Every structure is written in structure tokens, then in C-alpha cells.
Amino acid sequence: MAKTIFIETLQEGDRIDELFLVKSARLAETRAGKPYLILTVMDKSGELTGPVWDNAERFQELCQPGECIRVKGMVQSYREKLQLKVDEVTPVAKEETDMADFLPATIHSRTEMAAELQKIISTVTNPFIRKLLGRFFKKGEIWDRFQDAPAAKGIHHAYVGGLLEHTLSMARVADMLSGHYEGVDRSLLIAGALLHDLGKIEELYMENGLIDYTARGRLKGHLVIGSEMVGKVAAQIADFPEELLEQLQHLILSHHGRQEYGSPTVPMTVEAFLLNYIDELDSKMNVLEQLRRKLNSTEMSWSDYQRSLERYLYLNALQDEKTEAGRKEEGLTVRQQTLF
């Protein structure tokens, strides 16, 4: 059963009879006490929310998060935003669909990004750091999961391959800045960029296209998990310097910049300062990129209020030279049930 219409192309007044993935389905009540369903559906291009006023309990049974459904209805506008008016919902077996149509994914080739990341590792001059990086970013379970993983549940790089894209982007910037500022330990800074979000492969999981936190992720968070992972592997490398390990773990534990942002400690080294700002810059630029990809006009216009950035943005559409190859590449449809 082929999907032909995607959310990013929908306009007010469109009648639809199309396949979507259920992101969430939550029961609520009107002021009169009547139950209704707040349904959010998604595909690789975006998501759409709308209320289901009648037969809410029946529709909730059909609309389980992560399930594919066929929706008949109309696209409406409410408070200057598109929403979905649902008339009919029919369950669809996943075997009859191509999950690549529903999973948001990096537009870049994961194969090419992985190769570039490996090349960067080969330029690290500190032998202990290079050996440590080789233990994580080589053929094996961790490396495979890293290439599939999203970088977040929401906000930035929250899609298949997002962690690889974010990490590589940060490593590129770290490489540039390490040569720009005097006295920066390039090996340390590159390692910080590559390892800072390593714990996210244990913090988050993606099942049926939905990203959520693992129990370990909620209890510890990816900064602590990543620091523990690095400590465990460093212990397996003969004569790994204790001070070097502490510097690497400091990079991971402080990269959010402030304790109120989730860092157990604040940046206290040159490399930690740089890593914090590189991470913040790359995450915010990805937010802007995602917004610009949703625009149709090259003319500058104002966005809706962006809560994550606490401001309106004046943007135009991004002129995209990429193709859809990155979205449908190596094995995206094979790992349909659980990506990591």
C-alpha cells in the first residue's frame, strides 16, 4: 500500500485519504465533560494534530502510538495553524507499508558521514585518545547503533541518523576552532565532539518511529551514561593516563554549560568551554535549518514563536541541493521495528 501524500504538502481545505503513523492519541474532555481525542499523526516530512470529537474512545483503541493508520478527513486552519479533522480511521498492517515513508531521517548519506568521521579520527595525534575512539567508532554494535540513533527526542536532530549528523558537524567545527585559538588541545577537543553525546544510544530508543527515553536514560541522563562508557573502555587500555580520562569525562559532563541545563559540572577547561558553545551553536542551527526546510518562499518572513529559542525568527526557505537519497539509504526499511 503506497503512500502518495506527505504532511509538508498539505494545505487548508485539502481532503485526504492517506496513510500516517500515529505519534500520540490522548483523551481529553470538553468543558461539558464530553470526551474527545487529541490525535497527532506523522510521516517523514512532519506531523499534524487535530481533535476527534465523536466516538473518542473507539478511535483511541485504533490509534495506538507507533501504529500505521489510514485517515480520511480534511485539513483545516485553527489559530493560523493547520490541523486535521478526522472523519474515519482504518488500521493498516506495517507489512503493507514502507516505514521509510514515516520515519524522519537525515537528508545526508550516513555512509558518507560515517566515512568522514572515521577520517577525522585518523588525524587525532594523541595515541591514547585515538585508541579510545577506535574502540567506540569501529565495526560493532555501538557503532551500528550510533549511525542509526537520533540526537534527541525533539527540538534538534530528532531523526534517524541525527546523532551521527550532529556529532560530525561538531567535529568539523572543533577542527576549525582548534587551529584558530592558540593553546587548544586538538585531540581533546575532537574527542569531546565525538564522545559528548555517546550516552544517547543508551538514553533514548526508537521503536516504530517514536523516540522516547529508556529507564536508564531517565534515571541517569546521557552525560553520566557517556562518562561511564568512556571510563569503562579507558580502563581496558593499558596505561591510559588518569588525568587524560578525567579531562575527557569533564568534557562530557560539562558540555551543557550550566548545572540548570543538566550538566553535573560547568566547563572549566579551554576545550570544555569551546565544546559547550559548539554544541549549543550546532543544535540551534539545526532548529533553524528544520524551520527553513518547511518554508516554501525564498522571501523573508516571520516564523511562529519558537519556544525553544524564546523568540520569533525572520527566515526564508533553504535552497536545498540535497536529494532524498539520504532518507531512503542503507537499510532504513530493514530495521522497521526497533532501530536501536
Instruction: Give the confidence band of 329 by pLDDT, cuts at 50, 70, 90.
Output: low
Q: b/e for 287-321, b at 16 or more Cβ within 10 A?
A: bbebbbeeeeeeeeeebeeeeeeeeeeebebbeee
Distance CA 146, CA 199 (A): 10
Mean per-residue pLDDT, 40-47: 89
Mean per-residue pLDDT, 71-100: 87
Look at residue 140 and tell me whether its pLDDT is greater than 90: no
Q: Are 113 and 168 in contact (CB under 8 A)?
A: yes
What is the per-residue pLDDT for 334? 34
Give the phi and the psi of residue 44 in degrees, each rounded to 5. Answer: -65, -15
Please give the single-letter amino acid code of residue 218. R
Mean per-residue pLDDT, 20-39: 91
Look at residue 232 and tell me whether its pLDDT is greater than 80: yes
What is the per-residue pLDDT for 210? 76
Distance CA 57, CA 76 (A): 23
Instruction: Give the confidence band of 335 by pLDDT, cuts at 50, 70, 90.
Output: very low
Instruction: Give the confidence band of 99 by pLDDT, cuts at 50, 70, 90.
Output: confident
**Joined grid coordinates for residue 294:** 518547511
Look at residue 340 and tell me whether its pLDDT is greater than 80: no
Look at residue 68 and tell me whether its pLDDT is greater than 80: yes
Percentage of the residues of the chain whose pLDDT score is greater than 70: 93
What is the per-residue pLDDT for 327? 46
What is the per-residue pLDDT for 320? 62
What is the per-residue pLDDT for 158? 84
What is the per-residue pLDDT for 208? 67
Write the pLDDT tens digit of every residue in 169-220. Answer: 999 999 999 999 999 999 999 999 999 999 999 999 887 667 889 999 999 9
pTM: predicted TM-score of the whole model, two decimal places: 0.79
Percentage of the residues of the chain whose pLDDT score is greater than 90: 63
Write the pLDDT tens digit of every residue in 236-249. Answer: 999 999 999 999 99
> What average pLDDT is seen over the chain?
89
Mean per-residue pLDDT, 5-28: 92
Write the pLDDT tens digit of every residue in 269-328. Answer: 999 999 999 999 999 999 999 889 888 888 999 998 998 899 999 999 987 655 444 444
**Joined grid coordinates for residue 188:** 581533546
> Looking at 54-63, 159-168, 307-316, which range is the least confident one?
54-63
What is the per-residue pLDDT for 177? 97
What is the per-residue pLDDT for 337? 37
Higher pLDDT, 193 or 57: 193
| Helix segments in the chain, DSSP class H | 56-62, 110-122, 127-136, 141-148, 162-180, 186-195, 200-203, 215-220, 222-234, 242-254, 270-293, 325-328
Q: Are 14 and 48 in contact (CB under 8 A)?
A: no
> Looking at 50-54, 132-136, 291-295, 327-331, which range is the least confident one?
327-331
